[in-house]
Each structure stands twice: as C-alpha cells, then as structure tokens.
Amino acid sequence: MTEEPGVVVLHFAIADGYRLYGDRFRVTSDDGQARLGAIQHRAGKVVPDPAAGRPVEVFEHAVTLRVPVNAHDMFGLTVSYQGCAVNRICYPPMQRTFPVIASALFGQSEASR
C-alpha cells in the first residue's frame, strides 16, 4: 500500500547541471480503464528559454509528481518527460512505463469494488 492511498508517487532525482521541463510531464494508462487525475507537483523555477521564446518552468535536483488514480486492476502507467543539460543540449522526450497494481494503491478490499 502507498503512503497516499489512490495516488501514484513518482520521484525524479536530477543530476547537477540538468533540468526537467515542467510542461513536458505527461502520464497515461495503457488499459483505458484506469482514470488518472492531473499531475501535482511543487512549483518549479521559471527561467528564460531562448529556444521556446518564452519563460518556462524547470526543475533542478529533484521533483516529486503525484498522480491521483482510480483503477481496479493492474495497468501500465507511462510517464513522459523531457530535460536538458543547462546551456547545452536538450534531449528528446523520454518515456518509461511502470506496472501499477491497484490493490497496492488502495488496499485489496477497495481495489476489488
């Protein structure tokens, strides 16, 4: 069971000299049955981005995402994100898929309802 029932918590440890873009975080489920709420995270640092032509929100060192979930079975949670080396190269968007078991989020009795 998670410390926050019904919430998937994703922690990103970000190496020195790198950033993740706040507007590039996305989450999707692979089964169409799990309902995902809006991603929640602390406010990031707003910096000018010459490539984007506007200020952007970035995270350095670490960021934790919280995603409310309503699901009744196992599903794959795909997380998309993008980052850059500060004042150097930006990397293409990346994705990782994690298996999530609903009973671990809610406890067995709630997940089977």
CA distances from 89 to 27, 77, 84, 113 (A): 24, 28, 6, 48
Query: Domain limits of the chain?
Result: 7-101
State if pTM tops 0.85.
no
Q: Each residue of 12-50: pLDDT tens digit?
A: 999 999 999 999 999 999 877 789 999 999 999 999 877
Query: Is the Cβ–Cβ distance between 15 and 23 less than 8 Å?
Result: no
> What superfamily does domain 7-101 belong to in CATH?
Thiol:disulfide interchange protein DsbD, N-terminal domain (2.60.40.1250)
Query: Is the Cβ–Cβ distance between 17 and 86 less than 8 Å?
Result: yes
